[in-house]
Amino acid sequence: MSRFRGLWQASLNATKKALTWNVEDWIPPTEKYIFNFSSKEELKKWHLYSDSEFGGLSSASLEIKDEGNTSNGVFSGNLSLDVNEGSKWNITRSGFCGMRSKKFDGFIDLDAYDTIALKLKGDGRSYISTIYTENWVNSPGQLEDNSWQSFVFVPKDNWYIAKIPLAHYLPTWRGNVIDAKLEMNPSRILGMSLSVNAEGGVPGAKSGPGDFRVEIDWIKALRTE
């Protein structure tokens, strides 16, 4: 009888455990860190690109800035509209630089969130925030990730938290908006980037060739609803 009672008690405890849940298992936290820029190790998760890969003359760097007890990343460089003479690339535009995260090990699932937030200190330019997702918009034969972009204006000299609803990211292909009704799959995110162009951007933002500089503290996902 005692053996039966022991089995019954074990079964009862297992049932209670299965029925007991933590609210955090069902409701994700209201914010989730995606990247921080507090160390050189964190910067290794990113790589730089610019028009110089195609014959342009723009340049960029990504470094750590130590300030008291805090550190943050600095993405800076120079935008040039000029093209290297004799370049084998027949580029139609120049004047862009970017920093792109290396691909995640698998996917980042942001399905429970609705907004991307970036803590930035800038130079008055307009930057482009890009989210890369698994390729399902284009032909399966294409190797490029799907990209979704939104402008982010960064005021000069003061820290600023830019909040971009995921619904504001537009599908793009090689920098051009795709004129179709498409919806991002936030559960299959492969990476992100932050870039800057010499031309274009939001009205009132600084534009044109020349130096650029933006400090980055972190990038988060937020659940605001």
Q: How confident is the model at residue 142, as a pLDDT?
A: 55
Most confident option among 21-30, 102-111, 190-199: 190-199
Tokens of 49: 């690109």
pLDDT level of residue 110 (50, 70, 90 thresholds) = very high
pLDDT level of residue 26 (50, 70, 90 thresholds) = low
Q: How confident is the model at residue 1, as a pLDDT?
A: 46
pLDDT level of residue 13 (50, 70, 90 thresholds) = low
Identify residue 58 by its one-letter amino acid code.
Answer: S
As separate numbers, helices (DSSP H) first and strands (DSSP E) second, the chain gives 3, 13
Which residue did the predictor score with more confidence, 118 or 179? 118
Q: Which residue ranges form the domains of the chain, and what is each CATH number?
A: 28-224 (2.60.120.430)
With a cut of 80, say whether residue 24 has pLDDT above it: no
State mean pLDDT over 104-111: 87
Question: Above pLDDT 70, what percent of the chain?
Answer: 81
Ranges of beta strands (E only) in the chain are 31-36, 46-50, 59-67, 70-79, 96-101, 115-121, 126-133, 146-153, 159-165, 170-173, 176-177, 189-197, 210-222
- Distance in angstroms (rounded) separating the CA atoms of residues 101 and 104: 8
Give 49-105 pLDDT, tens digit per residue. 999 988 899 999 999 999 888 899 999 999 999 888 777 667 667 899 999 998 877
- Show Cβ contacts of residue 67 under 8 Å, excluding neighbours closer than 6 positions: none
**What does pLDDT average to over the chain?**
85
- Distance in angstroms (rounded) separating the CA atoms of residues 140 and 91: 27
The owner of tokens 């921080």 is 36
Q: How confident is the model at residue 14, as a pLDDT?
A: 52
Task: Enter the pTM of the model.
Answer: 0.82
With a cut of 90, say whether residue 20 has pLDDT above it: no
Q: How confident is the model at residue 145, as a pLDDT?
A: 82
- Distance in angstroms (rounded) separating the CA atoms of residues 30 and 24: 10
Tokens of 2: 């005692």
Which residue did the predictor score with more confidence, 85 or 194? 194
Question: Above pLDDT 90, what percent of the chain?
Answer: 56
Q: How many residues does the chain have?
A: 225
